[in-house]
Amino acid sequence: MKLSQFKFDLPLNLIAQNPTKKREDSRMLVVNRKTGNMENKHFRDILEYFDDKDVFVVNNTKVFAARMYGRKEKTGAKIEVFLLRELNGPKRLWDVIVDPARKIRVGNKLYFGDDEELVAEVIDNTTSRGRTIRFLWDDDDASFKKMLESLGETPLPKYIKRTPDAEDKERYQTVYAKYEGAVAAPTAGLHFSKELIKRCEIKGIRFAELTLHTGLSTFRPIEVEDLSKHKMDAEYFQITEEAAAIVNKAKETSHRVCSIGTTTMRAMESSFTAQKFLKPTEGWTNHFIHPPYNFSVADSLVTNFHLPKTSLLIMTCAFAGYDLTMEAYKKAIKDKYRFFSYGDSLLVI
């Protein structure tokens, strides 16, 4: 399939700028792959579609304060530095994206904080906007992480046209987030409240947790028309023995396995056996899923409504079918569903 087939027109007023008051009150469009039937629901209604011993697989990655603002030495020009990942802890080396990139060269020093509490030096170019920087910090790891947290802000996507506030620190994070390392929230999981999780568990639905640290690769524009030529950046993931056991028991007993989000799906589709059981593993994945594709582990999917021409939309089409997904998006626009990170959800069964 071609990239241009995944384009659609979205009214700007449907891009959610804030989360719903209660997580589970977001709307949910339910799409049945076999019948093509579509229903307008709320996320709290997800209980109607799953039973005792079914499994929800979630991504327990935790978003960190990845966006920082600093000033360039001498000129004082304001620079946005987006932390992608730590390359070397003891040496304080980080892979980052800088904006505006044309002003930042190897050897430049960047100053952060009103009193220049933190200084970094640019030591390498990685891509047109990518840089490797070294933070000049002699104190211990704990104080360094505390400094990054105090100077950084919640990395809301750019299409949210406002400054992050205190509420975003909680709401741009799943209630089960555990392991820090993501620069973007696994947004399908944002719809779960602790109360809804408890109600699911009372019904007998089990939760299996895996980790995939969402990087900018997931959101980086696809620049090739031929999807088979697109290369994703690698992202760290881990599937524990415990998670695999929960998922595989459901599969062995013909119970449902629902992937909560596309990042969760990518992790599972990066590690399964010849018998299509989930395999415990730890490593990196650059797996890009696009139609046609045969999924091995999950038989249902919760996801948000995504940007046109993104890997997230393309994966949804691979799972639900291209025509059905694009029909669902048309309905979502007509029925004024809220789109993107703080938007509503799509359940594909």
Mean pLDDT score across all residues of the chain: 95
Nearest-5° Cα angle at 3, 262 to 231: 60
Chain centroid to CA 288: how far?
Answer: 14
Q: Can you give the pLDDT at residue 87?
A: 93
Amino acid found at 101 = A
Q: Can you give the pLDDT at residue 219?
A: 65
267 pLDDT band, cuts 50/70/90, is very high
Q: pTM of this prediction?
A: 0.94
Chain centroid to CA 24: how far?
Answer: 18
For helices 322-334 and 311-320, angle between their N-to-C axes, nearest 10 degrees:
110
- Give CA–CA dist 51/70, Å, rounded: 51
pLDDT in tens, 2-18: 999 999 999 999 999 99
Within 8 A by CB and 6+ apart from 256, the residues are 50, 51, 54, 55, 250, 299, 300
Q: Can you give the pLDDT at residue 254?
A: 97
Q: Worst-scoring range by mean pLDDT, 115-129, 170-184, 284-298? A: 115-129
Helix count (H) and strand count (E) of the chain?
7, 17
Q: What percent of the chain has pLDDT over 90?
A: 92
Q: Can you give the pLDDT at residue 229?
A: 93
Q: How many residues does the chain have?
A: 349
Q: Can you give the pLDDT at residue 127?
A: 77
pLDDT in tens, 99-110: 998 889 999 999
Tell me: cis bond preceding 292? Omega within 30 of 0 counts: yes
At 173, list the tokens.
Answer: 């994070």
Q: Can you give the pLDDT at residue 103?
A: 84
Average pLDDT, stretch 202-210? 98
64, 173, 179, 181, 281 from 61: Cα distances, Å: 10, 9, 5, 7, 16
Q: What is the CA radius of gyration of the chain?
A: 21
pLDDT, greater one: 74 or 347: 347
Within 8 A by CB and 6+ apart from 182, the residues are 61, 62, 63, 64, 213, 214, 215
Pick from 184, 253, 190: nearest CA to 212: 184
216 pLDDT band, cuts 50/70/90, is confident
pLDDT in tens, 273-319: 999 999 999 999 999 999 999 999 999 999 999 999 999 999 999 99
Q: Can you give the pLDDT at residue 332?
A: 98
Q: Quick count: other Cβ atoms within 10 Å of Cβ 173?
A: 19
- Give CA–CA dist 310/329, Å, rounded: 14
